[in-house]
Each structure stands twice: as C-alpha cells, then as structure tokens.
Amino acid sequence: MLKAIADRCSVRSYKPDPVPREALEEVLKAALHAPSGTNARPWHIVVVTDAAKRAELSQLHRWAYFASESPVVLVFCADVEKSPHWWIEDCSAAVENAMIQAVDLGLGTCWIGVRGGGPGTDMSREEYVRRVVGIPERIRVLALVTLGYPAGPLQPKEPGPMENVHWEQW
C-alpha cells in the first residue's frame, strides 16, 4: 500500500487508450469503500467518458485543460443532506481511495478542484459542472478526477518533511 501511495502523482498527459471497464470498476469500488462520518456515505460519482462532455469539463477553469484528453473524468459529488458537516471530508476520502487504487492498476489521475466556498461565495464552477453532466441542484460538487494511462513516466514527489510531524503537542 505504501508503494502505491508513494508512487501516486498528478498526471496531466494521457494516452488515448480507453480504460477497461473492470479497471474502472475497481477504482470506483475503492472510492466507495472510503470512510465517512456516521457512515453517511453521501458521495455520488459521475463517470464521464464522452469526448464532448470531457471537452466541456476541460473549460471549467485554466487548470482543467487536460480533462479533454484523459479517457475518463470522474465527478465526485455529495448529497449534503446526508452529511451536512462532513461531506467534504467524506468525498475527499473517496477521491484519495480512487487515486491510490488507480496507481495500483497502472493508471494515472489528477484532482481538479471544483467546489466553491461557503455561503455568499462564487458557486459558478459547481453550477457549470452541474449543467454539463446533469447533476441535481441539491448535490454539491467537490472535484473532477482525470483517469487514464499516463503518456509519459510518472514523477512522484518525495514525502513532506518529518519536522512537520509533532508528537504529543506542537
């Protein structure tokens, strides 16, 4: 497991090869095994393989450009009524599980942030994604995750410094 975690890195260039259904289902199962507060499991995942929709999603913001070339884009969302306080954490755990499982299958991923801030902040990114893939208004959108076979070698980073770990107290 630690090897998959260490090998995970953000991939922004993909081969055009499709992701086999079996591999995609393994990634999704890993996401659905994530922990959630009070076992609410508020997440929903929209699997986008349609080239036109992926191209639309790539227009979300300037850092989403590569979504059009990844064979799959996973849209991670949550039913906030099921988990009003912990939906962000719950969905983030699901995203991380999916990304680590993808590495184990030889796939690359990249997390593309979508979620707007709290009350009174700009929600246009979430509204854009809702429109492109038909997500109901009551559902919040956390992130897009691109998925496919990396076009080049992976470039994992070293772990953060151990001096950022504090024992017992700061």
Give the C-alpha separation, 167 to 144, whole Å: 35
Domain-embedded: residue 161: no
Here the CATH number for the domain that contains residue 129 is 3.40.109.10
Q: In this predicted structure, what is the pLDDT of residue 119?
A: 54
Domain-embedded: residue 81: yes
Q: What average pLDDT does the segment 74-96 reach?
A: 97
Can you give the length of the chain in residues?
Answer: 170
Q: How many CB atoms lie within 10 A of CB 38?
A: 10
Q: In this predicted structure, what is the pLDDT of residue 154?
A: 87
Domain-embedded: residue 162: no
pTM for the model stands at: 0.94
Q: How far is residue 119 from each of residues 46, 81, 122, 131, 140, measured CA to CA in Å?
A: 25, 16, 9, 20, 13
pLDDT in tens, 31-60: 999 999 999 999 999 999 999 999 999 999
Task: State both tokens at 59.
Answer: 């227009």
The strand order across the sheet containing 108-113 reads: 43-48, 72-79, 139-148, 108-113
Domains in the chain: how many in total? 1
Domain span holding position 23: 14-151
pLDDT in tens, 139-157: 999 999 999 999 999 888 8
